[in-house]
């Protein structure tokens, strides 16, 4: 199953987040988590029952050609990952992701493939 989620907001990027008050970051994280949850629910993302590993392929398409650290992108996506897990009804500790930083697309996106 494949799903396209929005690019994480700039407030969630670790280098930007440390310059803001925690409540600003928390609000952005909550909104992003809910957006990813809603898109995953709409796509009817599901998984077999049980406490088994869930293989994910996450392809990050930045919104522009600026250089970004892969660990920063992964960190910024944490709220999106939580929203995906909520929609699937699982704990995100079951996820076994692989990460790909791909070519930019307008607006940016995160392509999730559940293997």
Say which residues have a Cβ less than 8 Å from residue 91's Cβ, sequence separation at least 6. 85
Q: What is the pLDDT of residue 96?
A: 96
Query: Residue 25 in contact with residue 11, Cβ under 8 Å?
Result: yes
pTM exceeding 0.85: yes
Domain region containing 79: 2-114
Q: For the beta carbon of residue 46, count every other beta carbon within 10 angstroms.
A: 13
pLDDT tens digit sequence for 49-108: 678 899 999 999 999 999 988 999 999 999 999 999 999 999 999 999 999 999 999 999
> Coil, helix or strand for 6?
strand
Question: Residue 11 and residue 70: Cα distance in Å, rounded?
Answer: 16
Give the model's pLDDT for residue 109: 97
Q: Which helix (H) or strand (E) holds 95?
A: strand 95-101
Rounded Cα–Cα distance for residues 45 and 106 (Å) = 25
93: CATH: 3.30.1330.70
Q: How many separate helices (H) and strands (E) can be counted in the chain?
A: 4, 4
Q: Which residue has the higher pLDDT, 66 or 19?
A: 66
More confident residue, 22 or 67: 67
Q: How confident is the model at residue 20 (pLDDT cuts 50, 70, 90)?
A: low
- Residue 18: pLDDT above 90? no
Phi-psi region of 97 (alpha: psi -120 to 50; beta: other; left: phi over 0): beta
Predicted pLDDT at 52: 86
- Total structural domains in the chain? 1
Phi, psi of 90 (to 5 degrees): -130, 170
């Amino acid at each position: 199953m494949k799903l396209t989620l929005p690019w994480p907001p700039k407030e969630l990027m670790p280098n930007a987040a440390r310059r803001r008050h925690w409540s600003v970051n928390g609000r952005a994280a909550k909104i992003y988590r809910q957006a990813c949850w809603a898109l995953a629910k709409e796509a009817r993302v599901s998984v077999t029952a049980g406490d088994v590993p869930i293989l994910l392929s996450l392809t990050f398409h930045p919104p522009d050609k600026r250089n970004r650290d892969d660990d920063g992108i992964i960190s910024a996506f944490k709220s999106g990952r939580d929203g995906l897990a909520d929609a699937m009804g699982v704990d995100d500790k079951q996820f076994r992701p692989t990460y790909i930083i791909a070519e930019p697309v307008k607006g940016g996106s995160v392509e999730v493939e559940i293997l």
